[in-house]
Amino acid sequence: MSLDRIGQALASFYDDLIAEGVPEHLAALVRQVRAPEHAPRAAAPAALSAKSGKFALVVEDEATVRAMAEALLEETELGVLGCDSAEAAIEIMRQRGGDVALVFADVHLAGVMDGVQLASAIALLWPTTRLVVTSGQRAERPSALAPQAVFIPKPWRPLDLLGEVERARVAPQPLLP
* Domains of the chain, start order: 3-37+49-170 (3.40.50.2300)
Q: Is residue 115's pLDDT more than 70?
A: yes
Ramachandran class of 21: left when φ > 0, alpha when ψ lies in -120 to 50, beta otherwise: left
DSSP string computed for 78-104: SEEEEESBHHHHHHHHHHHGGGEEEEE
Between residues 87 and 47, which one has the greater pLDDT? 87
Instruction: pLDDT band for 2, please (50, 70, 90 cuts).
Output: low
pTM exceeding the 0.75 threshold for the entire prediction? no
What pLDDT, on a 0 to 100 scale, did the predictor assign at position 174? 64
Q: Is residue 16's pLDDT more than 50?
A: no
Single out the residue of 166, 135, 132 nearest to residue 149, CA to CA. Answer: 132
Phi, psi at 118, each rounded to 5° = -60, -45
| Helix ranges restricted to H, the chain | 3-12, 14-19, 24-33, 63-73, 86-96, 115-125, 158-170
Instruction: Report which secondary-structure segment, H or E, holds 47.
Output: none
Instruction: pLDDT band for 47, please (50, 70, 90 cuts).
Output: very low
Q: Is residue 35's pLDDT more than 60?
A: no
pLDDT, tens digit (0-9, with 9 covering 90-100), for 76-92: 999 999 999 999 999 99
